[in-house]
Amino acid sequence: MTPAVDHPLRYQLTNELHARPFPVLEVPCKCVFLAVKEPVDAANRDRELDRAHLIDLLDRHGATHPQQGATHHGAAIGRHELKWESHTEFVTYSAFGKGLGARAFDPAEAEVFPEDWVARAPGRRLVSLLIRVEPMPADETEIVRKLDDWFVPESLVCSRIIDGAAIAAGDFRIDPAGHMRFAVFVQPGTGARRVGRIVQRLCEIETYRAMSMLGLFRSRALTQRLNALDPKLTALVGALDTPAQSAEATLHELLTISSELESLAVKFFFRFGATVAYEAIVTQRIEVLRETRVEGRQTFAEFMMRRYDPAMRTVKSSEQRLRSMAERAQRAAELLRTRVDVGRSRENQALLASMDRRADLQLRLQHTVEGLSVVAISYYAVGLAGYVVAPLAEGAGLSKGAAMAILTPAVMLGVWWAVRRIRRHFH
């Protein structure tokens, strides 16, 4: 029996489903999360620099190196468990430690990633999170007191998540030490894997929120340029049916605007497409939290609806406006090109009519010349024939003049017939 032949990527495709497992966290614990993005497009990103930066951190703790070409790696660095992941546009570092310090959200916890090492990263810090995970107290008023001490009440987000397994809270603000903070209070008996999933999802919500909002600032720059191009395009489209300016000049200006719009599309569509993808991830991660309200506080979904969704709508509006203007410029150019083609066809028809008139004149002139040529040829032919028939005419008793008079009509008729036959042959 012939053995089955596997696809060469079969095992890689299956292993990819299990490539990034959730952390396993025992309560109480803490997490320090860092996301670094290179200031270049994803296509030009040098992943070897990210790998070398990771190895630098691992060598400080004598930890094992990742395999060549790996996109994720885990190792122990001191008293923390490190989780490194390489994504399309950025890399993330998660350090999980057991126990909690006496001071909540102590900036010293972030020293697991040394400042000099962060400064040498092949990119810029986009996200820095401190997550504090502690048991849920029996009296929820104690949670409210802690949240009021830790976070800004105006933007505080707090909700009961995962069917009441935990309460997650944060204010999406960066503290003076440069970190964003989240607190998680876990019900007793909640599994370590579920706790790991909660922490991982909070990290993903903030990371993909930050990545998606990069498109907002790009859209603002795009809007400024579109505001400058829109009046020009509108004026050109409105002047299509007026003969004030030549169609060729108007077409040239339209093509210039259309070319710039296409250039903007190439420049911005990658970021806009990435923004849509990241927004979908943020929305999905919040949905799986299965939130319920706590003490009248706003949930993550409500906070995003008020603060985050308008930014995403702005990005989508800018993208749609760019597409619409590009389509308008293309349609106007096609209409104007049609107008130019019609004008040129009219000119070509006039030119052909002029050529027909010239050909008719040439034909009439040719007929006139043919008539004159018959006379001229006949004159010389009669002269030559006169020398031939002169002796014969004397023998017949005719004078040379009489013989020439009799011969002339016959010669002219013969020459006319010969010229006519030649013309018919050519036609």
**For the chain, which residues make up each domain, given as ranges?**
19-190, 213-350, 356-426
pLDDT digits (tens, 9 = 90+) for 22-47: 899 999 999 999 999 987 666 567 88
pLDDT at 301: 95
> Omega of the bond prior to 243 within 30 degrees of 0, cis?
no
Does residue 11 carry a pLDDT above 90? no
The chain-wide mean pLDDT, for the chain, equals 86
Region for 30 from its dihedrals, namely left if φ exceeds 0, alpha if ψ lies in -120 to 50, beta otherwise: beta
Tell me: the pLDDT tens digits for 267-293? 888 899 999 999 999 999 999 999 999
Tens-place pLDDT, residues 196-225? 999 999 999 999 999 999 999 999 999 999
Instruction: Confirm if 87 and 208 have CB atoms less than 8 A apart.
Output: no
Write the pLDDT tens digit of every residue in 323-355: 998 888 888 877 777 777 777 777 788 888 888
pLDDT of residue 111: 93
In this predicted structure, the answer to whether residue 132 has a pLDDT above a threshold of 70 is yes
* CA-based R_g, the chain, Å: 45
The pLDDT, as a whole number, for residue 367 is 66
Judging by DSSP bridges, how do beta strands 180-186 and 124-135 pair with one another?
A: parallel
Q: Which residues pair with 178 in a beta bridge?
A: none
CA separation for the pair 36, 316 (Å, rounded): 25
Are the beta carbons of 349 and 357 closer than 8 angstroms? no
**pLDDT tens digit sequence for 352-391:** 888 888 887 877 777 666 666 767 777 777 777 777 777 7
Largest CA distance in the chain: 159
Give the C-alpha distances (Å, rounded to integers) separating 251 from 172, 202, 258.
51, 53, 10
The C-alpha atoms of residue 72 and residue 84 are separated, in whole angstroms, by 5
Yes or no: domain 213-350 corresponds to CATH 1.10.10: no
- The residue that leads in pLDDT, 79 or 415, is 79
Q: How far is Cα 359 from Cα 349, in angstroms, rounded to an integer?
A: 15
Lowest-pLDDT choice from 8-17, 105-114, 182-191, 318-327: 8-17
Q: Which residue has the tokens 């992941």?
A: 85
Cβ pair 128, 110 in contact under 8 A: yes
Which of 107-121, 246-260, 392-406: highest mean pLDDT? Answer: 107-121
Concatenate the DSSP letters of all residues of 49-64 into one string: HHHHHHHHHHHHTTPP
State the residue for tokens 């050109």: 236
The CB-side HSE value for 125 (13 A sphere, CA atoms) comes to: 17
Q: Which amino acid is present at 22?
A: F
φ/ψ of residue 57, rounded to 5: -70, -40
End-to-end CA distance of the chain: 83
Around Cβ 280, how many Cβ atoms within 10 Å?
Answer: 12
Residue 344: its pLDDT value, please? 75
